[in-house]
Amino acid sequence: MSARSQWSWCIKWGVERAVAALALLLVFPLLLGLALLVKLTSRGPVLYVSDRLGHGGCVFKLYKFRSMMDGVPAVLGVDGKVLTLKSDSRVTSIGKFLRLGFDELPQLLNILRGDMCLIGPRPDVLWEKDRYTDRQRRRLEVRPGITGLAQVVGGRYMNNAQNYELDVLYVEQSTWRMDALILLLTLPYSLGMDHIGVKVFRKYIEAVRPLAESLEK
């Protein structure tokens, strides 16, 4: 059961879609500049396009500025999680800069298309769907987001089970206040200051800690 009503979710998506449209107009010159930089600094397409799981398990095309060399394979953890490495030779010359959050800006188009929203669980890769538990499948009850609870508390350092549980807790307990906090904490997260989000959402970190311990056993 979610803390929000169905109407609240609909209003949230409508507001975020309007915000995305306005943001797209404001950052359009920046998008053009970043696209030019990607094209001039490495071979391959400007955008990285990937099939991802959306609302209800539907598949959609996710857009990102390409920050890696074209055609390199993903690196997976033991639990199937796609890993982000600190020192990664696959990253292009401007890839590290793009990964401050600029690579996600094309997803404003995904919001306008109705695939995503600003705040929600990150869109997962297709092969994970068959591995979900019944509880983890709840993360598909809402549209995926550009940012979310799992991101701002340092989910990149957690395993898949912990990230999925954070997503489900968001679905069950999200409020307008939580959304505002997540949005405000996204910039510090992008700059590597995950500890701020950890302090704000400490109770959620404590809730998923046993999942790390159970995996180690």
Q: What is the pLDDT of residue 88?
A: 73
Q: What is the pLDDT of residue 142?
A: 95
Q: What is the pLDDT of residue 71?
A: 74
What is the secondary structure of 138-154 as a DSSP string? GGGGS--EEE-HHHHTT
Q: What is the pLDDT of residue 216?
A: 47
Whole-angstrom distance, CA of residue 164 vs CA of residue 4: 19
> What stretch of H or E contains 163?
helix 160-173
Whole-angstrom distance, CA of residue 81 vs CA of residue 60: 20
Whole-angstrom distance, CA of residue 27 vs CA of residue 90: 27
- The per-residue pLDDT for range 122-141, each reduced to its tens digit, is 999 998 999 999 999 999 99
Backbone dihedral angles phi then psi of residue 125, each to the nearest 5 degrees:
-75, 155
State pTM to two decimals: 0.87
Tokens 């609909």: give the residue. Answer: 10
* CB distance 44 to 91 below 8 Å: no
pLDDT mean values, one per 10 residues, the chain (217 residues): 80 94 96 95 94 96 92 64 67 89 95 96 93 95 96 89 95 94 92 88 92 58
Q: What is the dihedral of CA 141, 144, 145, 151, to 10 degrees?
A: 90
* CB distance 204 to 166 below 8 Å: yes
The one-letter amino acid code at 184 reads L
